[in-house]
Amino acid sequence: MNQTPPNPARRRLLNATGMAALAAASGRLLAQTTPRPLLIVSSWEISGLSPAASGYIFTRLQVTETLLGSRDDGTPEPALAGRWQVSADGLEWRFELRPGARFHDGSPVSAQAVLHSLERVRTPPGLLATVPIRSMDAPDGKTLRIRLRSPFVLLGSVLAHSSTMILAPASFDAKGTVREVIGSGPYRVAKLEAPHQVETRVSEYYDSPRPAIGAVRYMAAGRAETRALMAESGQADLAWNLDPASITRLRSRNAVGISSVTLPRTLAVSLNAGIPGLSDVRVRRALSLSIDRAGISRALLREQDLAATQLMPPTLAGWHEPSLPPLTRDPATAARLMREAGWTASPAGWRDAKGQLLELRLQTFPDRPELPVLAAALQAQWREAGFAVKVSIGNSGDIPLAHRDGSLQMGLAARNYAMLPDPTGTLAQDFAPNGGDWGPAGWSSPIVSDALQKLLRGGLTPDEQRAERRRILLALQQELPVIPVCWVRAHVAVNRRLEGVRLDPLERSFRLTEMRWKA
Amino acid sequence: MSPRHLLHWRGVLLRRALQIVALLLIIGSASFLMVRSLPGDMAMRVAASRYGYDFVGQAAAGAVSQALQLQRPLWQAWLDWFSDLLRLDLGESLVSGEPVWHEIAHHLGASIDLAVVTLLLAVLIGLPLGIAAAWRPGGLADRFMLLFAVTLRATPAFLLGILLMLLLAVHWGVLPAAHDDQGGTLWLPALTLALGLAAGLARISCSALREALASPACEFARSKGLTDLQVLIRHAFRLAALPVLAYLGVHLVLLVEGTVVVESLFAWPGLGHALVHAVFARDVPVIQGAALSLGLVFILFNLLLDTLMLAIDPRQRKPGASDA
Amino acid sequence: MPDQQTSPFIHRTGFGLLLLVGAFALAGPALVGVDPAAQSLGDSLLPPDARHWLGTDVFGRSVLARLAQAAQRSLGLALLAALSAALPGVLAGVCASWCGGRIERALVMLADACMAVPGLLLVMLFAAMAPGHYWALYAGLALSLWVEYFRMARAASRPVLHGDAVQASRLLGFGRRYILRHHVLPALAPLLATLLPLSVAQAVLALAALGFIGVGLQPPTAELGVMMIEFFPFYSEAPWLIAAPVTLLVFLVLGMMLLAGNKEHT
C-alpha cells in the first residue's frame, strides 16, 4: 500500500476547525446565568416594524400606547390621552395628553410628536385612513385636535387600535419608515430579533407605578405542540394560542395553570348570496340547520358551550341578544326547506328543477389550526344532508381575493368582531351593501344598513342603541348571509408561580403590569 | 504539491463551482416560475403575511401592490433580480422590507451552528455503534444497530423531535424544549437531526469496516502478527473512512431537509424556518436567498468532505476518481 | 452483493413483510369496507376495540379504514415517483458508463447540478406553486430521487461493461440489447430491489415533512403523511393514533432492510 505518512500539520488544522466550530456554537450550547425574564411564547411573528404590520405585538407587550384605551366591553378609556372631548356636532375631537408621559428615549410625549406619529399612519391599511379627517393639529404642546369632515363615532375606537399606536419621532427615518420601536409604554425594547423574538425591560421614563415584572421576553414559535411543551417544561411562563388537544393534555397533567376567555371572535361561514343556489334564504337556512354545532364544539374544540346560537357570544354583552331564536340542528326541517325551494334529492346531492347539481366550494386557510379541521367536519355534515361541498385550503388572503373577483361561494374564517374595540366598525365593513373583505358577498339589507348608519352617526341613547343592535342581529339571524358555527375561546398556559394573569377579551394587551411572581 | 495533486484539486473545485452555478440557475428559474404561477393574487398573499389574517383585505393588498411595484412586467422583474444577484444584492424582503442579506445572515449563523453540532453528535453516536457492530457481527451492538436504523428510518423527524422534547425537557427537565436565546437550546434540535444521520452512519461504517477487515491488506497485517485491535486501528479505520465520508457527502442533504422540519418544530431561527415562512408568504426574494444559502452550505460542506477524503486517501488523487 | 451473514430466513421475512404491506395497500380498502370519510363526532377518539380495530380519530372516523386508504394512496404515489425516478435514472446511468467521454461528463454534470439543490427544497418549491395537488408533489419527488439511481446505475454498470464477460459477448457479436439484458440488468436488479423500497419510504417521509410544514396534501385526504400530521397533536391523549401510520412505515422499512441484508447503499 502506498499510504503517505500522517501529516501532523494537516491534523492540527482539522482539530482547529473542529474546536472553532464548537466555540462558535458554544454560545448557544451553554446556559447563561443572568436572571430569567418572563417568557411569553405565541404564534404571532414580528413581520415588520410598521404599526399596521406588527403594532399589535408591541401594544400587547405594553411597549407602545395608543391615544385611547378600551374597557373589556369595547367602550373607550383614557390611555396616552388622559382626557378627551367631542364637540356637540361630532366634528371636532380634542385629546389632552397625560402630562408626565415620556418616550423611551427620554423625550416628552408632546402633541407635535403624536401628530408626527399619526400623520405617518394615515395610509392604508392603517385604520386611520378610513376616518374622514379634515385636519389634525396641535393647538398647544399637550393638546391634539382632530377635525372631521363628517361625524364619525368610531374615531375613539380607531385611536385605540394598534395601527394608530404612538411612536417617538426618533423611531422614523427620513422616509417615514419605522426603524426602531420607541414607544411610551411601561416597557421599552431591549433587544429585537425580528421575526422571532423581542426582549423588553421596564422603562425608566414611565410615569406610573413600576410594574412588578422587570423583564419580558417574547418568542414566536410556530407549532402549538412546541408552545405547549415549552409551557409544560417550565421554559415558557405564558403560552398563547394553544390547540384543543394540547389544552386537554395540559389540563390532565396539571403542571401549569390554564387561563381562558371567550373572545368576540366567531367561526363563521360567509356566503355569496349572489350565486344561484345561495341566493335563496331557504337554502342558507338549510345549510345552517345541517350543522352539528354541539358536536363540533365538544369533539373538535373540546368545549361544552361554544356552539354558536347566534353571531356574537354572550360575553359580548351589548351585542348578544338572548331573545333571538337559537340556531340549532334540524336535518328534517333542512330537507323540507330544500324541497320547498325547488330542489330534489339525488345520490350526488341536491338538484334544481333542471337537474343541475348544487355544488359548493368552501374556502378556508390554515393560519388558525382549527379552521381546516372545522372545514372537514362541515364538509362531512353537509354531505350527510345532501350538499356536495368541496373544501379548498389556501392562504388567508384568498377569501378577500375571492370577494374581489366574485368567485367566493363559502368562506370559513374566525372573524374578529372587536378588531376595533367597538364591533360596529367591523360589522359596518362586513355588511356594507357592496360587501367587505370578510363578510357575505352579494347580500345587502336595508334594515341592517340603516341601523349601522344610525349607530355610526352616534348620538343615540343607550336604549336606542340597544334597539338598533337588536334590529341588526335579528336580520342577520333570519337572513343568514353569514352562518355562525362556533364561538372562540382563547386559552393560555400560565406558570404556577405567576399570579395576576387576567386575559384581555379584546386581545389588545398581555396585561403584564398586573402580573407578579409569587413569593 | 505535485502537479497531479494540483490537477485533482482543480477538478474538485471546478466540480463544486459548477454546482454553485447550477444552484443559482435552478433556484433562480424555480423562483421565476413560482412568481409566474402563483395561485391567487401575489399582493394579497404578501399582505396576508405582512398584516396577519385579521387585517388582510383589499386596502392592505392595494398598499402592498403599490409599495412593491407588482404591476411591473415579469421579464423586467426577472432581469432586475438577476442583475442584482450578480452584484450580490438579493433585494429586500417583501414582507418585512428588510434587506434579504440582512435577514439571511441572521438565519445562516443559526443554521450553521445547528449543522455543525448535528454532524459532531452524529459522528459521536454513529461511529462507535458501527465499530462495535462490526467488531462482533450478530452481537448485541449489531442487533441494536438494526433496530435503531429501522426505527429512525421510519420515524418522521417531527415525531422524534416531540418524543425527545417530552423525554429530555418535560420528564427529566435537563434541556430547554425550544429555542429562546437563553443558551442550551441547540442540543434538542441537533440531537433530533443527529439520530437520523447516526443510524445511517452506524450501518455504513459497520459494513465498511467489515469489508476493510476482510481486505487483503488487513489479512496481510494479521499474518504479520498484529492483534485484531491493532489491525483495526492501524489499517481498517483508514480503509473504512472513505465510504463513510462518501456516505456523509450524499446524506448531508438529509440535514438540509431535516432542518426545514426540525427548525420549525423547535422554533430554531435558521434558514429552513425562514424558507418555510417565505414560501407561505410568497416572499420570493427571501425564498431565493434562503434556498441559495441552504444550497451553498450544502455544497461547502461537501467541499470540506472532498478535502478530508483527499487528505485521508492518496488513491483519490487520480483525476476522475471523485465523481464516481 | 448479498452479505455472508444474512440467512435466507431473514431474507424471506423481509420479503414477507413487504408483501404484507403491499397486500394491505392493495386489498385493504375493500377488506375493511368502512367509508374512510364517514364522520361521527359522537365517537371521537375511541380507543381500539372490536368495532374499530385501530380506534377512531377526532372526527370519529375509523382509523383502520383511513390507514388502508392512506397506504394505497401514499405507497402508490411514492412508488410511482420512485419508479419514474428510477427509469430515467438507471437509463442515464447505464448510458453514461456505456458511452463514456463527453456524454458521461455531461450527465454527471447534470446530476451534480440536481444534487446542488436539496430534494425537499425542490419538492417544496413545486408544492408551493400548486398546493394540495398530486402532480406537484409527484414531480418534485421524482426530480429529487433520480440522481440516486443515476449514481447507483453508473457505478454498478461500469465494472460489468468493462468486465471480461461483456467483452466476450461483444466479441461473439451479441448486440446491445443482449448485453443489457444478460449482463447489465442482472447486476443492477438486486441493487434496484433494495433502493426502490428505500426511496418509497423516503418519499412517504418527505410527503409527511411537506404536510408538516403545510405545503403537502391537505386533510381530509387520507395519506400517510397527512395522517401523521393530523394525529400528531393527540400523541399523548390517543397514542394509538400516531402509532398506526408509523407502524406501517416501520414494517415497510424493516422489510426493506431485512431484504437488503446488513448493507447500506450510499
Do the chains contact at B267 and A220, CB–CB below 8 Å? Answer: yes
Give the per-residue pLDDT at B40: 61
Kindly report the average pLDDT of chain A as a whole number.
Answer: 88
Inform me whether the C-beta atom of residue C80 falls under 8 Å from chain A C-beta atoms: no
- N residues, chain A: 519
Do the chains contact at C232 and B158, CB–CB below 8 Å? Answer: yes
DSSP helix, strand, coil percent of chain C (3-state; round to 5): 75, 0, 25
C-alpha closest to that of A222 among A39, A488, A44, A40: A44
Contact list in B for residue A395 (CB cut-off 8 A) is 40, 44-45, 48, 280
User: Would you say A158 and A121 are in contact if contact means Cβ atoms under 8 Å apart?
Assistant: no
* Grid cell listed for B311: 487528505
Alpha-carbon gap: A373 to the closest alpha carbon of chain C (Å) = 8
Contacts of A374 (CB under 8 A, 6+ apart): A267, A296, A300, A364, A412, A485, A486
Write out pLDDT tens, residues A295-347: 999 999 999 899 999 999 998 878 999 999 999 999 999 999 999 999 999 99
Inform me whether the C-beta atom of residue B132 falls under 8 Å from chain C C-beta atoms: no
Contacts of C238 (CB under 8 A, 6+ apart): C45, C47, C55, C231
Q: Which of residues 280-309 of B touch A (CB under 8 A)?
A: 280, 308
Average pLDDT over every residue of C93-116:
81
Distance CA B322, CA C105 (A): 13
Inform me whether the C-beta atom of residue C239 falls under 8 Å from chain A C-beta atoms: no
Neighbour tally for A220: CB within 10 Å: 21
Q: Give the closest of C39, C214, C220 to A366, CB-based.
A: C214
Do the chains contact at A376 and C59, CB–CB below 8 Å? Answer: yes
Give the per-residue pLDDT at B39: 57
User: By three-state DSSP, how is residue A142 classified?
Assistant: coil
Q: Give the closest of A243, A249, A299 to C44, CB-based.
A: A299
Average pLDDT over every residue of C114-136:
72
Write out pLDDT tens, residues A416-457: 998 888 899 899 989 988 778 888 998 989 999 999 999 988
Kindly report the average pLDDT of chain C as a whole number.
Answer: 80
Do the chains contact at B150 and C250, CB–CB below 8 Å? Answer: yes
Please indicate whether residue C8 or residue B114 has the higher confidence score (pLDDT): B114
Q: Is the pLDDT of residue A2 over 90?
A: no
User: Would you say B146 and A182 are in contact if contact means Cβ atoms under 8 Å apart?
Assistant: no
Give the per-residue pLDDT at C261: 60
| Residue A441: DSSP 8-state | B
User: Would you say A93 and A146 are in contact if contact means Cβ atoms under 8 Å apart?
Assistant: yes
Taken in order A169, A172, A173, A175, the sign of the CA dihedral is: negative
- All partners of chain C with 3 or more CB pairs under 8 angstroms: A, B
Q: Is the pLDDT of residue A19 over 80?
A: no
Contacts of C216 (CB under 8 A, 6+ apart): C127, C132, C137, C207, C208, C209, C210, C223, C225, C226, C229
Instruction: Give the CA distances from residue C191 to residues A99, A435, C187, in Å, rounded to whole numbers and listed in that order.
Output: 80, 62, 8
Q: List, edge to edge, every strand of the sheet that includes A133-140.
A: A81-86, A92-97, A143-148, A133-140
Do the chains contact at A52 and B166, CB–CB below 8 Å? Answer: no
Do the chains contact at A245 and C234, CB–CB below 8 Å? Answer: yes
Neighbour tally for B166: CB within 10 Å: 18
Q: Which of residues 170-229 of B touch C (CB under 8 A)?
A: 200, 203-204, 206-207
Give the per-residue pLDDT at C121: 73
Distance CA C224, CA C244 (A): 9
Give the distance from CA B260 to its chain's centroid: 9
User: Would you say A220 and A195 are in contact if contact means Cβ atoms under 8 Å apart?
Assistant: yes
Q: Least CA distance to C159: which residue of chain B? A: B324
Mutate to test the interface with A, among B2, B8, B44 (most CBs of A within 10 A): B44
Give the per-residue pLDDT at B310: 78
- Map grid coordinates 418509497 to a residue: C200
Mutate to test the interface with A, among C58, C61, C229, C235 (most CBs of A within 10 A): C58
| Position B320, amino acid | G
Contact list in A for residue C60 (CB cut-off 8 A) is 299
Q: Give the closest of B23, B146, B149 to C116, CB-based.
A: B23
Give the per-residue pLDDT at B2: 58
Average pLDDT over every residue of C193-218:
76
Burial class (CB in 10 A: 0-12, 13-18, 19+), C133: middle
Residue A99: asked if its preceding bond is cis (omega within 30°), the reply is no
In which band, very low, low, confident or very high, does the pLDDT at A108 lie, cut at 50, 70 and 90? very high
Inform me whether the C-beta atom of residue B319 falls under 8 Å from chain C C-beta atoms: no
Lowest mean pLDDT segment, chosen from A26-35, A124-133, A266-275, C14-23: A26-35
Contact list in B for residue C214 (CB cut-off 8 A) is 276, 280
Distance CA B208, CA B202 (A): 10
Burial class (CB in 10 A: 0-12, 13-18, 19+), B88: exposed
Element (H, E) at A259: strand A257-271
Contact list in C for residue A225 (CB cut-off 8 A) is 232-233, 235
Q: Is the pLDDT of residue B239 over 70?
A: yes
Give the per-residue pLDDT at A84: 93
Q: Which domains does chain A have, with CATH numbers?
A: 64-171 (3.90.76.10), 262-489 (3.10.105.10)
Provide ipTM, 2 decimals. 0.81
Inform me whether the C-beta atom of residue A221 falls under 8 Å from chain B C-beta atoms: yes
Average pLDDT over every residue of C92-99:
86
Please indicate whether residue B305 or residue C56 has the higher confidence score (pLDDT): C56
User: By three-state DSSP, how is residue B128 classified?
Assistant: helix
C-alpha closest to that of C257 among C214, C213, C201, C206: C201
- All partners of chain A with 3 or more CB pairs under 8 angstroms: B, C
Beta strands in chain B (DSSP E): none
Distance CA B165, CA B152 (A): 16
State phi, psi for A41 to the nearest 5 degrees: -125, 135
In which band, very low, low, confident or very high, does the pLDDT at C103 lie, cut at 50, 70 and 90? confident
Element (H, E) at C102: helix C101-116
Q: Is the pLDDT of residue A23 over 60?
A: no
Q: Is the pLDDT of residue C2 over 50?
A: no
User: Would you say B158 and C212 are in contact if contact means Cβ atoms under 8 Å apart?
Assistant: yes
Rounded (5°) CA angle A284-A286-A290:
120
Average pLDDT over every residue of B15-25:
77
Going by DSSP bridges, is the β-strand pair A76-78/A68-70 parallel, antiparallel, or unpaired? Answer: antiparallel
| Position C233, amino acid | P
Q: Is the pLDDT of residue C220 over 80?
A: no
| Residue A256: DSSP 8-state | S
Distance CA A156, CA A425 (A): 11
Do the chains contact at A226 and B47, CB–CB below 8 Å? Answer: no
> How many residue contacts between A and C have a Cβ separation below 8 Å?
58
Instruction: Give the CA distances from residue A49 to residues A171, A181, B52, B276, C266, in Å, rounded to whole numbers and listed in that order.
Output: 10, 7, 13, 21, 47
The percentage of chain B sitting over the pLDDT mark of 90, rounded to a whole number, equals 3
* Furthest C-alpha separation in chain B: 84
Domain ranges across chain B: 3-86, 100-317
pTM here is 0.84
Contact list in A for residue C234 (CB cut-off 8 A) is 245
C-alpha closest to that of B249 among B7, B19, B25, B8: B19
Kindly report the average pLDDT of chain B as a whole number.
Answer: 78
C-alpha closest to that of A193 among A219, A168, A215: A219
Task: Count each helix (H run) and each strand (E run) in chain B, helices first.
Answer: 13, 0
State phi, psi for C187 to the nearest 5 degrees: -75, -35
- All partners of chain B with 3 or more CB pairs under 8 angstroms: A, C
Q: Give the closest of C108, C209, C264 to B200, CB-based.
A: C264
Angle between helices B3-36 and C119-129 (to 10 degrees): 20
Mutate to test the interface with C, among B15, B19, B165 (most CBs of C within 10 A): B19
Alpha-carbon gap: C236 to the closest alpha carbon of chain A (Å) = 7
* Grid cell listed for A485: 358555527
Give the per-residue pLDDT at B323: 41
Q: Give the closest of C5, C115, C225 to B138, CB-based.
A: C5
Q: Least CA distance to B263: which residue of chain C? A: C213
Give the per-residue pLDDT at C7: 66
Going by DSSP bridges, is the β-strand pair A498-499/A482-494 parallel, antiparallel, or unpaired? Answer: unpaired
| Residue A472: DSSP 8-state | H
DSSP helix, strand, coil percent of chain B (3-state; round to 5): 75, 0, 20
B100-317 belongs to CATH 1.10.10.10: no
In which band, very low, low, confident or very high, does the pLDDT at C219 lie, cut at 50, 70 and 90? low
Give the per-residue pLDDT at A290: 96
Q: Give the closest of A246, A252, A377 to C39, CB-based.
A: A377
Give the per-residue pLDDT at A118: 94
Do the chains contact at A376 and C214, CB–CB below 8 Å? Answer: no
Contact list in B for residue A56 (CB cut-off 8 A) is 52
Write out pLDDT tens, residues B258-290: 777 888 888 888 888 888 878 777 777 788 788
Distance CA B115, CA B255 (A): 7
Alpha-carbon gap: B98 to the closest alpha carbon of chain C (Å) = 22
Give the per-residue pLDDT at C218: 66
Q: Which domains does chain C have, with CATH numbers?
A: 21-27+63-260 (1.10.3720.10)
Do the chains contact at C44 and A372, CB–CB below 8 Å? Answer: no
> How many residue contacts between A and B have a Cβ separation below 8 Å?
191
Q: How would you label C59-91 residue by residue, b for 16+ Cβ within 10 Å and e otherwise?
A: bbbbbbbbbbbbbbbbbebbbbbbebbbeebbe
